[in-house]
Chains A and B, each alone.
Chain A
Amino acid sequence: MKIDHSSTIKKLAKLGEEVLEQLEKKKNPEIDVRLRSLNNVYFDEKDRLIRLGNKVQKRSFFNLNQSKKFMQTMLIASLCKELLEQDKPPLSIRQIYYALKRTLPNSNENTFDAQKETDPLIEDIEVIIDALREELNLIATPKGVIAGPLTIRDKTSGDDINLAKMGSAGYSVPAIVEKNTIDFKHCSADYVLVIEKYAMWNIFNRLKFWDKNNCIIITGKGQPARAERRLLQRIHDELKLPVYVMMDMDAYGYYIYSVYKQGSINLAYFSEKCAVPDAKFLGLKVSDYENFSVPKTALIKATKSDMKRLDEIKKYDWFKTKEWQKELKDLKNFGYKIELDSMVTKGVDFAVKNYVPTKIENKDWLD
């Protein structure tokens, strides 16, 4: 089956045409690149998203410091366009580096010397033409797995896939989950449960939590890759399902929640397409310790770096709500962290049968 890449192809062509036009008007070729550095990242209070600001930097071909980058940017763009036109399978960002690396004629200079030269330029192109890397047919390695009463159509093969019939492994989140590639055919779930780590997701899957509670369960195996986040947003936005997130009770767990919810600083330009500002933080939170009589053996003393990270995230604008500031303060005072995995101290099926259903029923979450 042929995937429709026409809109991205058009955007890439437009980039080339703009440069050509400048040349024809005897102007020095320049492109505007929105800055992706921290000083151009802000938290949009209204939409509750991390966003990229409007600061742009000119990249000019006849500025020696930028000339090579300019050329490299165009090389990447033209290769992407070519691959899209030929409907080739997507390449990883490492493969793109190899595909473009060669020696410039009559010199010992290479087009690219390391992947760290291509990576940021790919992100530049994403912001320049306002297209996702996935739309450019480039992929990052996805990690996530998902299961539940959702049937999707994979347009690359034309298969309909019922995520309720994926056995113990679940369905691996594909690298590209854009509309032109993945369609939602059918869904009867009532909500989505995001579980930080695979081990706990595995218990939820094996005990058919998604079947009994009519929901979708997904894990990004720690810090999620782009595809899991993008897929979660699409499920939330298009299927209108609420999203609950379950993380370790420590600064890292809380931060990963914020990545699902508000996006990240590094990929600020991507938040709009991947964040789920409505997502709710189910736990673990400090009050759960008493509410669910978690045994002391589940506690791990917080380290210095845990404390430091806590102080850091406390300062992030998106954690500056009253209830979050309190939670972070409580956690600091508590002085311990609790991993999701430790819930097995209360029985293997405690989280499945007791914790999550209780929390959802009581609406015991943080926003």
Chain B
Amino acid sequence: MASIAEELAKKQRDISIAEFFEKNRHLLGFDSKRKSILTAVKEGVDNGLDACEEARIPAEITVTIKQAGTDRYRVIIQDNGPGIMKKQIPKIFAKLLYGSKFHALIQSRGQQGIGITAAGLYSQLTTGKPTVVTTKTGPNRPAHRVELKLDILKNEPQIIKEEIDLDFRLPHGTKVEMEMEAQFVSKGSSSIYEYLRRTSIVNPSAQIIFNDPTPSKFIFNRTTNKLPKMPKEIKPHPYGIELGIFMRMLKTTSKKTIQSFLTGEFSRVGSTTAKRVLKKVELHNATRPYTLTREQAEKLIKTLQTEKLMVPPLDCLSPIGANSLEASMKTELSAELVVTVTRPASVYRGMPFQIEAGIAFGGNLKSEGQAEIMRFANRVPLLYEKSACAITRSIGEIDWRRYGLSQTGGRGVPYGPLTVAVHMASVWVPFTSESKAAIASYPIIVKEIKLALQECARHLRNYLKRQYRRQRDQARIDAFTRYSKELAGAIADLTRGNKEKIAELIEESLVKNTKAMIKVKEGEQ
């Protein structure tokens, strides 16, 4: 019996993550031909923007889609980021769970170390073609071109070809090319176009160019030259740590004692707190972290979580900023009014996060039907799993009728010429799955989203009121003016007087009266 179990265990280990994801690729957003190409573009663009931001370079991203057969497309994503060291290339693009962001609590688009490799994997599975990466780290360095495949069983990269690319024109940057089975849609809520358009709204300092297969070229210009503030990495806060991660941290830490582990690897744990907690769980301060048993670890983290600790530092986040968001929504949406709000940062399960919202109204926005909703997490548009998302839920829980908009039964998405945008920035966005499409509905997150939206909605309501009043006043003045002309004629006929002179008299008194009218109105407010 024991030998069978052993055998099984061996086999279990042999099931590589790559193999597992081949079977579960829907979790990564590669479940349909239409969605897969969008996911691939998204992974490439996210990485490019992340890299540029980290290197403090104003991003310039070019996405090119070329038809390569029936239901087959070549996807090329190029950025002007810092480039990638040659020896890193294979692991980044052909090894799952390899990334720089997984262990770091820092606001970034990528967080799992799966994204781009999964895209390459999808390409490989549907066309058998390798992923081609060309990257250059500086003006005087050569551009390396590498063709890669992923060994699915081993989750290890396989280099097919490697060469220097003399035609790479950028001083630095990375170009990723993949061929895949796909379906291309040019416009609509889950199109690449829409994804890039929305990306440009929440990345006002980025320039995005899109060459679609028709072929048409779209340019989404930057609306600011100011780069977003650099987000800061923070240590995890005990409130948000799960046992598994805690145990892994115990094993991998470089800290020699449990006390220095607690004070050094976590936010807001000082030596007094650490000592007190260790005393409670009857552990010696100098215990070596890796020696803790599962039971000891569990007791320790649970006790630590019942301590009253300060919230983690909140200045680690980099919101878009109400002004920048307003400017880019204005540019992109040609609305009559745009109001935006950035909430103060808050914390869910020890993770700092911050909500921003914007409402655009009128102008070129379509007036029939429900409002357009734009969801964003760490400056990435979320296009799928709308109904599972905390943003959609929060919008639906607001009674928009109170703000002068129409809505069925006081629930759900409001109607009218409206775009509602919500952005969540966090060191770790709680997505509902690995495809990073919907934000989980933690009560504090829903509350913050609602507060942000309600504040925008109040501005909108005031605007609508003012506008209504202005229209009403104008309608009044127009009516008086129309009637004045008739009246002048009638009085002239009755008195055999001069019509022009009488019209002037009425006009004079109309001017006097409208002034009085407007004064009264101001007094009312």
Contacts and interface: CB of A to CB of B under 8 A. Distances in A.
Interface of A: 12-13, 15-17, 19-20, 23-24, 26, 28-29, 61-62, 64, 67-68, 70-71, 74-75, 77-78, 81-82, 104-107, 109, 111
Nearest to B482: A104
A26 B509 CA distance: 7
A168 to B, nearest CB: 46
A259 B337 CA distance: 65
Contacts of B508: 26
Contact of A75 (B480, B482, B490, B513): B490
B480 A70 contact: no
Contact of B482 (A16, A78, A107): A107
Contact of A16 (B485, B486, B490): B490
A68 B482 CA distance: 9
A71 B502 contact: no
B487 interface: yes
Interface string B488-521: 0111011111000010011011101100000000
B512 to A, nearest CB: 8
Contacts of A78: 489-491, 493-494
Given A23-B506, A28-B509, A71 B494 contact: no
Contact of B494 (A15, A106, A107): A15
A71 B476 contact: no
B399 to A, nearest CB: 33
Nearest to A111: B486
B479 interface: yes
Contacts of A61: 480, 483, 487, 506
Given A23-B505, A23-B509, A68-B479, A81 B494 contact: yes
11 contacts: A16-B490, A16-B491, A19-B494, A20-B505, A23-B509, A62-B509, A67-B480, A75-B490, A77-B490, A104-B482, A105-B485
B486 A75 contact: yes
Interface of B: 476, 478-480, 482-483, 485-487, 489-491, 493-497, 502, 505-506, 508-510, 512-513
A74 B482 contact: no
A64 B479 contact: yes
Q: Which of A12, A15, A28, A61 has the most CB of B within 10 A?
A: A61
B497 A20 contact: yes
Contacts of B510: 62
Contact of B490 (A62, A64, A71, A107): A71
A28 B482 contact: no
A116 B483 CA distance: 19
Nearest to B475: A64
A104 B479 CA distance: 10
A82 B495 CA distance: 11
Contacts of A107: 478, 482
A70 B487 contact: yes
A194 B39 CA distance: 97
Given A20-B497, A62-B480, A74 B513 contact: no
A20 B487 CA distance: 10
Nearest to B495: A16
Nearest to A19: B491
A305 B508 CA distance: 58
User: What 9 pairs between A and B have smallest CB-CB spacing?
Assistant: A16-B494, A74-B490, A78-B493, A78-B490, A71-B483, A23-B505, A16-B495, A62-B513, A104-B482
A13 to B, nearest CB: 6
Given A78-B493, A105-B482, 7 more contacts: A16-B497, A19-B494, A23-B491, A29-B487, A29-B506, A61-B487, A64-B480
Contact of B513 (A12, A28, A68, A77): A28
A74 B491 contact: yes
A64 B495 contact: no
B281 to A, nearest CB: 78
A71 B483 CA distance: 6
A16 B480 CA distance: 19
B493 A82 contact: yes
Contacts of B496: 13
B522 to A, nearest CB: 18
A60 to B, nearest CB: 10
Nearest to B489: A78
Given A68-B483, A75-B486, A17 B505 contact: no
B480 A20 contact: no
A179 to B, nearest CB: 24
Contacts of B485: 104-105
Contacts of B493: 16, 78, 81-82
Nearest to B487: A71
Q: Which of B494, B495, B510 has the most CB of A within 10 A?
A: B494
B391 to A, nearest CB: 43
B509 A64 contact: no
